[in-house]
Every structure is written in structure tokens, then in C-alpha cells.
Amino acid sequence: MSKNFFKDGKWTENTKAPAVKVCDCGSKYIKTREGQKSCLQCAADNAAN
């Protein structure tokens, strides 16, 4: 889904908007790290165990 924003007096479509993914636990997240496959909370829980 792209988002529109106002720039230089006209509306522009942002085609570089990040995709929202869904984790196995059901929460949504934006992929911020290369190779990321789960939300940060699940990644932190897995690292603690």
C-alpha cells in the first residue's frame, strides 16, 4: 500500500513505502533488518531462551 504526501505544492505518491508483514504470533511489523522473519518482540523472546 502506498501513501500519499504533500510535496512542493502537489500530492505525490510514495512508492517506496515499506511493506507490513504479519508475524507467526499474529502481530504486524515492518521488516527493518535483513533476514528478519518475525517481529522484534518474538526475536527478543527467542534470543532470551
Helices (H) and strands (E) counted in the chain, each on its own, are 1, 4
Rounded Cα distance, 44 and 18, in Å: 22
Q: Is the pLDDT of residue 15 over 80?
A: no
Q: What is the pLDDT of residues 24-39, one digit of tens each?
A: 899 988 877 788 888 8
| Residue that wins the pLDDT comparison between 13 and 30 | 30
Residue 38 makes CB contacts below 8 A (sequence gap 6+) with 23, 24, 25, 29, 46
Rounded Cα distance, 14 and 9, in Å: 15
* Overall pTM surpassing 0.75 (yes/no): no
Cell 510535496, residue? Answer: 7
Rounded Cα distance, 10 and 42, in Å: 41
Output the pLDDT for position 36: 84
